[in-house]
Amino acid sequence: MVDLIMKDILGTPAILVGLFAFIGLIVQRKNSGDVVSGTLKTVMGFVILGAGAAVLVQSLDKFSSMFNEAFTVDGVIPNNEAIVALAQENFGTETAMIMLFGMIVNIILARFTPFKYIFLTGHHTMFMACLVAVILTTGGMSGVSMVIIGSIILGSLMVLSPAMLQPFTRKVTGSDDFAIGHFGSIGYFVSAMVGKAVGKGSKSTEEIKVPKSLGFLRDTSVSVSLTMVILFFVVAGFAGPGFVEAELSGGQNFLVFAFMQGLTFAAGVYIILAGVRMLLGEIVPAFKGIADKIVPNAKPALDCPAIFPFASNAVIIGFLCSFIAGLVSMLFLPLLGLSVIVPGLVPHFFTGATAGVFGNATGGRRGAVIGSMANGVMISFLPALLLPVLGSLGFNGTTFGDADFGVVGIVLGNLIRLIESNILVVFVIFGLLAILFLIGWKTKANENRNNNEAA
């Protein structure tokens, strides 16, 4: 039953989001037709988003293979799904329990604190639950106390992460309808702050002037297609026709293969954007029921692609700049005695693109470029610093990719190592969380006061 609930129901993001939409519509006493339609469209929007991501990841995997062959790169490749799959054999039960009770803590905190965010990115909830389980177990904690501490840490992160980003999310979207619930938030926050620092007077990426003869580039699908086709051509050329045609394309000409993979990537982005539009069109109105009845004024915290439609040029700029920063970081990691982190196309696309959107919101084009590069450096160095903390799990050629996993894992792991007594660890963790909540409370109060004065 636990496996059914945790892995098949709550562990399936589309079903999790659909359940919240269903509850919201029921609480609003919508008629049966609206409930069925709203729930299915919400699930379908998430399925479409996932289908787009799968198409995109398939294309990126081909790119990674060509890139590794072309430049003979050997190192650790961050991949959340891979590291969690490896951890499930030894930490599966702990992960499931922390995930379940962490979600309950999230709802309780949203109900009784000013942080009214319900974290709906189910797969990231599971990834963070797994990281916390690994760190606490490796640090010597076990049983009920480990599950309680892990759940409180996870539930707190599920409200603090969207809350930290929300002022910038409002700037991106122009509304307060939803938040971003994604554990790359520290990277996005840094990108927004960097954009604020360097981007004074810089125009938005969405205002890039294009000559009339190149007016077709205004179409996001066309510009993404051309960008990725050129990238695939370059990397396929370095990898060589022999490798591409023997290992990847099944005999298809390497240039034709590269061309089709560039278009496949663009198709994946297009599908993601279509899924996001459908998802937002249904989840935001449905969530009103939960906001009104269960958690007053609650906001859904959604996966990072939810903000892609608000700055489509920044998405591509952010991805490319984050990836370039990852390549440069590869040169410096061995000099500092750290493992080489091979830039993973998937984390650099999703977190780099999101960092680009946030950087653009606060600092225009300069903010998008420099902010996303800051994110690229973070998701290169943080996974390298996290590896020693993961114990035996850190020797499997992969690790957690996004910024929050690195920060949480490094802080929590070193905290447990420094303090031998589990009781002291518990008190220190509660103390740190209390400080974070107090800071957030004060920030929220100042924000509300400023809004009231403006009104």
The pLDDT, as a whole number, for residue 445 is 63
What is the tally of helices (H) and strands (E) in the chain?
14, 3
In a 13 Å sphere around the CA of 159, the CA atoms on its Cβ side amount to 29
% of the chain residues with pLDDT over 90: 23
The pLDDT, as a whole number, for residue 325 is 94
Interval 23-63: pLDDT, tens: 888 888 888 888 898 889 888 887 887 788 788 778 878 88
Q: Are 183 and 402 in contact (CB under 8 A)?
A: yes
Which of helix, strand or coil describes residue 233? helix
**What residue spans define the domains of the chain?**
2-80+168-411
Q: Are 444 and 115 in contact (CB under 8 A)?
A: yes
CA 37, chain centre distance (Å):
28
238-242, 267-271, 440-444: the lowest-pLDDT one: 440-444
* 13: confidence class by pLDDT, cuts 50, 70, 90: low
* Alpha carbon distance 59, 225 (integer Å): 12
* Alpha carbon distance 228, 258 (integer Å): 9
Tell me the average pLDDT across 9-33. 79
Interval 161-198: pLDDT, tens: 999 999 999 999 988 889 999 999 999 999 999 999 99
DSSP string, 266-283: HHHHHHHHHHHHHHHHHH
Q: Sheet harboring 117-119: ordered strands across?
A: 117-119, 299-302, 179-180
The pLDDT, as a whole number, for residue 210 is 59
Interval 309-362: pLDDT, tens: 898 889 889 988 998 999 899 889 888 888 888 787 778 888 999 999 999 999
Q: Are 24 and 295 in contact (CB under 8 A)?
A: no
Tell me the average pLDDT across 213-231. 71
Interval 356-396: pLDDT, tens: 999 999 999 999 999 999 999 999 999 999 988 887 666 56
DSSP string, 81-107: HHHHHHHHHHHHHHHHHHHHHHHHHHH
Which of helix, strand or coil describes residue 341? strand
Q: Which two tokens stand for residue 381?
A: 């160095």
Tell me the average pLDDT across 270-297. 77
The pLDDT, as a whole number, for residue 192 is 95
* Alpha carbon distance 288, 27 (integer Å): 9
Look at phi and psi of residue 341 and say left if phi exceeds 0, alpha if psi is from -120 to 50, else beta: beta
Q: Please name the amino acid found at residue 192.
A: A
Q: Are 311 and 276 in contact (CB under 8 A)?
A: no
* 451: confidence class by pLDDT, cuts 50, 70, 90: low
Interval 62-99: pLDDT, tens: 887 888 788 776 667 787 877 877 777 778 778 878 88
**Is 60 exceeded by the pLDDT of residue 455?**
no
**Mean of the per-residue pLDDT values of the chain:** 83
The pLDDT, as a whole number, for residue 82 is 72
Interval 437-446: pLDDT, tens: 777 777 666 6
CA-to-CA separations, 372 to 100, 129, 191, 231, 433, in angstroms, rounded: 33, 26, 6, 19, 28
Tell me the average pLDDT across 243-267. 88
C-alpha torsion 366→368→369→370, nearest 10? 80
Interval 124-167: pLDDT, tens: 888 898 899 988 888 788 888 888 889 999 999 999 999 999 99
Q: Which two tokens stand for residue 442?
A: 């004060």
